[in-house]
Structure 1
Amino acid sequence: MTTKTITGGCQCGAVRYRVDVVLSNPHLCHCRMCQKAAGNYFMPLAWAPREKVVMTRGRPAWFHSSDIVRRGFCQKCGTPLFFDAVATSHMLVTLGSLDDPSRYRPVSEDSVESRLPFVAPWPDLHQKITDDDFTAEEMETIRASNHQHPDHDTETWPPEDK
């Protein structure tokens, strides 16, 4: 893979970015939060050091899907752009938002325990469970601070503080 600058952005062009390093660990995430954030069965992502991701037009809006993860998207068109584990030195870029997504073939499928039963495993990709990427403490923090709407209708949202 070349070290040519990677560029990308949202569907409407309001948010553009560049990454000044080759992305690493391109993968497909099957976790329920990524499914909902992508509006799809999985989300293709890859890692970059946070300081190497530079906004060149506009700024993403952010939604904290849990207390330790925020997700960046275009506020105008809704395109998902970033997955940011706030306590780390890196963030993930959505591969579909790249100007040339063909540069990054996934190397693994992550959170395969949440893969939908009719989605077949991709041939030759390493299969990882969520516990491979997060500690038990991080998983408990995510579960306890999950800010996404449940998978059923509710009378009110967000829930009232007790």
Structure 2
Amino acid sequence: MFELTGSTSASEPRAGGCQCGDILYEVTGIPDDPHLCSCEHCTLLSGGPAMTWVGFRKEALTWTGPGGRPVWYASWPTLHRGFCPRCGSHLVSLAEDSEMIMVTTFSLKEQGGLEPVGHSYRQAAVPWMSVTLAPCPPCP
């Protein structure tokens, strides 16, 4: 994993939320590991060929909406996914023992600078899907 160094600094918050506006959040910090995922769980949950994710430190995310926090679903023994119980929007994914929370990129109001640089489970992607990834930043 790597951290992006782009237009958003650690002090600039990013806002996001569900479709109905009941579950809202704010996240600060430098985004990490923006990527697509075509695993069976992500394709079933999204109803599409891939989901896009970006990571932030868990403590950098604050739930701000009137509905409070998302409802959690264990899609794998050690992986929990948060969604809005009212409209069903999928918002976050949290692996046990991880310091990071993965946010669905398109639940953010602004996606600038979060172009995917990786594609998890690319071999499982539908054969008609063609993906051009953003260049990876140089290693430190």
TM-score tier, shorter chain, comes to 0.7 to 0.9
Higher relative contact order (CA 8 A, sep 6+): 2
1:50 aligns with 2:58: yes
Counterparts of 2:132 and 2:28, CA distance in 1: 29
Where does structure 1 differ by over 4 angstroms across 4 or more consecutive aligned residues? 123-126
What secondary structure does 1:101 align onto?
coil
* 2:113 match: 103
- Name the aligned partner's letter for residue 89 of structure 2: T
Deviation at 1:22, TM superposition (A): 2.0
* 1:65 match: 75
Give the 5 Å matches for 1:33-44: 33-44=41-52
1:29 aligns with 2:13: no
Count how many residue pairs are aligned between Structure 1 and Structure 2: 126
What secondary structure does 2:64 align onto?
strand
* 2:3 match: none
Deviation at 1:94, TM superposition (A): 0.2
Name the structure where helix makes up a greater proportion of residues.
1
1:80 aligns with 2:102: no
TM-score of the two chains, using structure 1 as the length reference: 0.73
Distance verdict in 2 for CA 1:55–1:124, change over 3 Å: closer
Percent identity of the aligned residues? 31
Deviation at 1:113, TM superposition (A): 1.5
Q: Is the CA contact (8 Å cut-off) linking 1:108 and 1:125 kept in structure 2? A: no
Counterparts of 2:135 and 2:78, CA distance in 1: 27
Deviation at 1:107, TM superposition (A): 1.0
Q: Which runs of no fewer than 5 residues in structure 2 stay unpaired?
A: 1-5
Larger radius of gyration: 1
* 2:127 match: 117
Q: Is the CA contact (8 Å cut-off) linking 1:25 and 1:47 kept in structure 2? A: yes
Deviation at 1:124, TM superposition (A): 5.2
Distance verdict in 2 for CA 1:112–1:125, change over 3 Å: farther
TM-score of the two chains, using structure 2 as the length reference: 0.84
Counterparts of 1:121 and 1:84, CA distance in 2: 25
Q: Per-residue CA shift, 1:54-80, capped at 9, x if unaligned?
A: 111121011100110010011100111
